[in-house]
Amino acid sequence: MIKLITVEDYLMGRDKDYPLSKELAYNMANLLIRVNALILKLNISTVLSSGYRPGGHNLKAGGSSKSAHISCMAVDLIDPLGKIGQLLELRTDVLEEFNLYLESPRYTVKNKVDGSVVRWVHLQTRKTINRVFIPK
């Protein structure tokens, strides 16, 4: 069964200490509509890894000071085998259809000390030069 990302999932309870402005609420709604439409179109099952990251939450997550998560324009989805990222990298037509941008899957993987690997898909509505981009 496909699970869509809810507002509650996306906010991760962080809106209690960092309430959303009208602009942030608009950005979040726009992002969730697009990402959920992509999830439905591709019929993919995934879980939210990271959503709204205000203040120190972004730093703790290792995010850039210019991260689109801060402005509610980005979402990270768990992608344990890297298959969703690979599919989207090949299917830029789907990214274009929903006006989304993908961080290159080569940059959304971490090797942990215990030898395990963590992979995620970073999607955002904030425009970049390329549909699939390399983070700065």
Question: How does DSSP assign 35-82, residue by residue?
Answer: HHHHHHHHT----EEE----THHHHHTT--TT-TTTTT-EEEEE-TTS
Residue-wise pLDDT for 81-111, tens only, equals 999 999 999 999 999 999 999 999 999 998 8
Instruction: Name all domains of the chain by residue range, CATH numbers in brackets.
Output: 7-133 (3.30.1380.10)
Q: In Å, how far are 99, 101, 132 from 93, measured between CA atoms?
A: 9, 11, 11
Backbone φ and ψ of 128, nearest 5°: -130, 170
pTM as predicted: 0.94
φ, ψ dihedrals at 16, nearest 5°? -65, -40
pLDDT of residue 57: 81
- Residue numbers in the chain where pLDDT is lower than 50: none
